[in-house]
Amino acid sequence: MRLTILTPTYNRGGVLPQLYDSLKKQTCKDFEWVIVDDGSKDNTQEVVKAWLSDSDFSIQYFFKENGGKHTALNYAVKKIESELTFIVDSDDTLTTDAVETVLRYHKRYEDEKNICGYAFLRAYPDGSVNGKEFVPNERVASYTEARVNSDDTMADKAEVFKTSCLKEFPFPEYQGERFLGEDIVWVRMARKYMMVHINKAIYIGNYQDDGLTKNRRLNNIKSPVGCMNRAKEFMGSEFKKKYRVKAALQYIIYGKFADVSVAEILKNTPDRTLTLVCLIPGLILQKSWKRKFCSNH
């Protein structure tokens, strides 16, 4: 088995069948589907169990205590033995040729030691592309260069990683926090590895009203230590100035949500000068966000 489709899920028993149907329609069945149930309280387990004996591809189902998507990914990656891992959310679907396309490109690049994986396009259900296309097509570059410094940070793409690289760069886990932006790992990985960026949509993304994407800021506020550390990653000199300034503001904001003193914020920053410049605006923004997002929670 060369490819694992990895789906972390939480209370998505009602939408998982759409993903399952798209996997049944794959033109290539050289994959397994690993589902990590992050403590669901709905009928997810019953839904999946009905498929285990009736599928023409391998399905593995694991249940764990709720800890957040990033902890579910860590849990699964430790168990995966295939060469590639494709993280696909439970409320999304794949095009019928997704697996075939991934394996075709992997055959072309699998011997390149400096490549950690492949980034394909995501589309919305209406067929429009999420974010920008890559310039040029099949661009070999780091996540930082191809995505962040190319001003495509607000878009989602379909990333397929070498499993060995995900094992090398696990998601950091912070006690009591259930949310963490995955790009904290992507930028760490980008300091060592390149990715191949391909202008073909293989992933159809649906954004649920109660999903992580639509509720990102409130989720961040509830998990401030991880978000503070994520911000520190984006303050590196390899990023454009505007992203470093944004990261410095976030570092201050989430630091205060985590009850870190100003003295400690300044002591632990990777860029003291930038943090000092952003300190007052950051403190003002934190108070504004607290009034806006925390008054009813």
**217 token code pair:** 């800021």
**Minimal CA–CA distance to 168: which of 141, 188, 197, 140?**
188
Which residue has better confidence, 212 or 111? 111
Query: Does position 109 have pLDDT exceeding 80, yes or no?
Result: yes
Rg, Å, the chain Cα set: 20
The per-type count for the chain, helices as H runs and strands as E runs, is: 12, 9
Q: How confident is the model at residue 19 (pLDDT cuts 50, 70, 90)?
A: very high
Q: How confident is the model at residue 216 (pLDDT cuts 50, 70, 90)?
A: confident
The span from the CA of 166 to the CA of 151, in Å, is 25
State the average pLDDT over residues 250-278.
98
**Minimal CA–CA distance to 139: which of 152, 127, 124?**
152
- Angstrom CA distances, 108 to 138, 150, 171, 182, stand at 11, 25, 28, 27
